[in-house]
């Protein structure tokens, strides 16, 4: 009996049949997904529930809610938050109308749709899931922003230890090697040996040190800000 | 809430059976319980038990969510250099209180409630999110979302950091945000059903159908009626113009038993969200005539939030919603999911089992449903600071 209840709810909730009618209609239910109104139906029912297959796949990969509800998820950095993060790392013209084409600010300013920004006029909240388009745009922004960030980090009050008059951070020392202080400021958590190792390998493996530094910063940003 | 996932898993199973059936009954029984939360609990418990405190990682996430900015180097170092776990915990919790005292917390709350309500970015559409944000910033009761009769349409500045008290305009009843003009406009629809769905999903964290009887009733359809209201308690063609008792395809009453008892309360708001003295929402019938009360309910029925939970008007609805434990728990679950980076509890079925948040729910109720205290409790919970 319990299964029957669930199946009934299922059919109703998934909207696999027609809408309520203004006249009795005999016959078989219409095809699955046919939930829009018509001459014999009087109301367009929503049919946008989560796919049971997607749910099953998620549960198998991530575990049951009794487990996942205790764990942090990997939600993307919200669009507005990403803009403030970039600004706080020294990227200029975030939100400005005249950002140079293909600059980090330009990619950000015109990337709201790709990055799932909200569309409240259409009753759509911000999509905090990670999408291919959103992650791609974000990584493009990081790559474009790297030179600005490398130059700005030593000047940023937020990155100084001991307040605005304290010791500045730096991403690279005079020999071009990665510095923990700058990486800590960049990623928002204390830099670990693995961060420094990845950074230095990226720098030394690139065609030139300058290219390597840009790649290293972009890679660290991507790792740190794919999830909020 | 776990029922929702079970329902969808039943769906998957029901589709899979005809597609995958073989004549050998002995080959398909190796996956019982998968995914629904049963079985292999030890594996998941072991993972949960292996997590360790990481207050720096928690600080970064908390900073991004509570302030919208990264922590400063000094904030990072303060926790990093704390001598032991207790000192790190103290430094972290002090910083969380600091973050929640900043003007940027107002902005973050505003963004959270805009997303939760699916509305905002104009003065009209920001009043409801601003009121909810104000409750959090001022550590007021969550239940005011359903019961406030004054000051429930505040304004917010362009920077989203300053909320200014204001009463709602118009002549309609006042009950927190469920009478908000912007919300009524945003969720306008035939029969006011979209408004009901918004209230239901936003504040009860579940899609219709939500009132399910353990004893289904055969009403002549392909499947039984599963509601708790009497099947005849909503209108059919004998009293209204739409057959909500139709069973030719799905059993409409499974959802409409609840919908039809709530929707008339929201039916006096017109397409602009303005309260009118009479019903002001259309029907999807030819020429879109306005709805009538008898379209929803027979004359013997009255409006209600749930079966045996009557609500004569919207203030009554707000009052009974505020007393509903499911509504109270939903508020905690939404804050929990926000903190832990989950997608929507309804749209994406990111459900929070009662056991996960029972401490927070109990403290929330015992503490007068204070919003800021709840948020602090969630951001300092072990689940938030362990990775």
The tens digit of pLDDT for each residue in B328-373 reads 999 999 999 999 999 999 988 899 999 999 999 999 999 999 999 9
Mean pLDDT (whole number) for B187-208:
96
Sequence-ordered list of residues with C-beta below 8 angstroms from that of B250, at least 6 positions apart, any chain: A11, A12, A15, A16, A17, A18, A29, B221, B223
What is the Cα–Cα distance from B54 to B23, expressed in whole angstroms? 53
The confidence score (pLDDT) of residue A46 equals 61
Question: Which segments of chain A have a pLDDT < 70?
Answer: 1-48
- A40: closest CA of chain B, how far (Å): 10
- Asked whether the predicted pLDDT for residue B6 surpasses 70, the reply is no
* Contact yes or no for A6 and B114 at CB 8 A: no
Q: Of A9, A50, A70, which is closest to B226 when you measure between CB atoms?
A: A9
The confidence score (pLDDT) of residue A16 equals 36
Longest dimension (CA), chain B: 76
Which band of pLDDT confidence, cut at 50, 70 and 90, is reported for residue B10?
A: very low
Whether the Cβ atoms of residue B52 and residue B387 lie closer than 8 Å to each other: yes
3-state SS assignment for residue B243: strand
3-state SS assignment for residue B101: helix
Tens digits of residue pLDDT in B150-166: 999 999 999 999 999 99
Q: ω into residue A87 within 30 of 0, thus cis?
A: no
List CB contacts (< 8 A) between A121 and chain B.
121
How many residues in chain B? Answer: 387
Torsion sign over Cα A86, A91, A97, A100: negative
The confidence score (pLDDT) of residue B193 equals 96
What is the Cα–Cα distance from B57 to B63, expressed in whole angstroms? 10
What is the Cα–Cα distance from B63 to A105, expressed in whole angstroms? 23
* Contact yes or no for B190 and A65 at CB 8 A: no
∠ Cα B309 B140 A81 (to 5°) = 110
Whether the Cβ atoms of residue B87 and residue A219 lie closer than 8 Å to each other: no
Q: Hey, which residues does A161 pair with through a beta bridge?
A: A167
Identify the burial level of B91 via C-beta atoms within 10 angstroms of its C-beta, where 0-12 means exposed, 13-18 middle and 19 or more buried.
buried
The confidence score (pLDDT) of residue A1 equals 35
What is the Cα–Cα distance from B257 to B227, expressed in whole angstroms? 7
pTM comes to 0.88
The confidence score (pLDDT) of residue B4 equals 55
Tell me the pLDDT of chain B averaged across its residues.
91
Mean pLDDT (whole number) for B169-184:
96
- B248: closest CA of chain A, how far (Å): 6
- B167: closest CA of chain A, how far (Å): 23
Tens digits of residue pLDDT in A60-96: 889 999 999 999 999 999 999 999 999 999 999 999 9
The confidence score (pLDDT) of residue A20 equals 57
Decide which of B298 and A47 is more confident. B298
Decide which of B241 and B19 is more confident. B241
The two counts, helices (H) then strands (E), for chain B are 17, 4
The confidence score (pLDDT) of residue A53 equals 85
Computed on alpha carbons and rounded to an integer, the radius of gyration of chain B in Å comes to 24
């Amino acid at each position: 009996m319990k299964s029957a209840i669930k199946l009934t709810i299922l059919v109703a909730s998934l909207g696999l049949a027609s809408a309520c009618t203004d006249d009795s209609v005999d016959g078989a239910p219409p095809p699955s997904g046919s939930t829009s109104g018509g001459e014999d139906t009087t109301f367009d029912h929503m049919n946008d529930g989560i796919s049971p297959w997607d749910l099953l796949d998620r549960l198998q990969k991530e575990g049951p809610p009794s487990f996942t509800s205790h764990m942090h998820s990997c939600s993307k950095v919200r669009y507005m938050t990403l803009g403030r993060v970039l600004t706080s790392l020294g990227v200029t013209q975030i939100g400005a109308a005249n950002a140079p084409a293909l600059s980090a600010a330009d990619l950000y300013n015109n990337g709201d749709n790709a990055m799932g920004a909200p569309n409240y006029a259409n009753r759509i909240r911000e999509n905090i899931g990670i999408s291919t388009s959103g992650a791609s745009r974000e990584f493009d922004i990081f790559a474009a922003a790297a030179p600005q960030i490398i130059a700005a980090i030593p000047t940023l009050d937020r990155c100084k230890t001991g307040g605005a008059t304290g010791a500045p951070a730096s991403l690279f020392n005079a020999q071009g090697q990665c510095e923990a202080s700058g990486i800590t400021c960049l990623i928002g958590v204390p830099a670990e040996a693995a961060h420094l190792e990845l950074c230095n390998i990226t720098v030394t493996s690139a065609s030139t040190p300058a290219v390597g530094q840009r790649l290293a910063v972009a890679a660290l940003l991507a790792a740190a800000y794919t999830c909020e | 809430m776990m029922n929702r996932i079970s329902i969808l898993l039943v769906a998957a199973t029901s589709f899979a059976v005809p597609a995958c059936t073989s004549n050998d009954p002995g080959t398909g029984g190796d996956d019982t319980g998968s995914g629904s939360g049963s079985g292999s609990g030890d594996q998941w418990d072991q993972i949960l038990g292996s997590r360790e405190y990481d207050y720096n990682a928690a600080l970064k996430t908390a900073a991004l969510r509570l302030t919208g900015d990264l922590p400063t180097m000094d904030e990072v170092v303060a926790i990093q250099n704390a001598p032991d776990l207790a000192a790190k915990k103290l430094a972290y919790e002090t910083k969380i209180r600091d973050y929640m005292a900043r003007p940027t917390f107002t902005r973050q709350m505003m963004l959270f409630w805009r997303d939760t309500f699916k509305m905002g970015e104009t003065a009209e559409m920001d009043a409801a999110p601003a009121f909810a944000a104000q409750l959090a910033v001022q550590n007021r009761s969550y239940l005011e979302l359903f019961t406030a009769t004054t000051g429930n349409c505040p304004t917010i500045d362009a920077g989203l950091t300053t909320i200014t008290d204001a009463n709602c305009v118009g002549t309609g009843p006042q009950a927190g945000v469920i009478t908000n003009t912007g919300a009524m406009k945003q969720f306008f629809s035939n029969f006011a059903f979209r408004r009901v769905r918004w209230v239901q999903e936003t504040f009860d964290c579940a899609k219709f159908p939500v009132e399910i009887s353990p004893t289904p009733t055969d009403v002549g359809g392909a499947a039984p009626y599963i509601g708790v209201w009497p099947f005849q308690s909503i209108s059919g063609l004998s009293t209204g113009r739409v057959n909500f008792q139709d069973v030719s395809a799905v059993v409409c009453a499974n959802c409409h038993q609840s919908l039809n008892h709530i929707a008339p309360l929201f039916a006096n708001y017109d397409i602009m969200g303005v309260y009118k003295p009479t019903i002001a929402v259309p029907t999807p019938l030819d020429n879109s005539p306005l709805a009538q009360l008898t379209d929803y309910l027979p004359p013997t029925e009255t409006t209600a939030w749930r079966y045996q939970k009557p609500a004569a008007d919207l203030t009554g609805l707000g009052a009974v919603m505020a007393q509903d434990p499911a509504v109270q728990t939903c508020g905690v679950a939404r804050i929990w999911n926000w903190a832990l980076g989950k997608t929507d509890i309804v749209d994406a079925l990111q459900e929070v089992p009662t056991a996960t948040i029972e401490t927070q729910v109990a403290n929330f109720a015992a503490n007068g449903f204070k919003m800021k205290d709840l948020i602090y409790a969630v951001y300092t919970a072990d689940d938030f600071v362990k990775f």
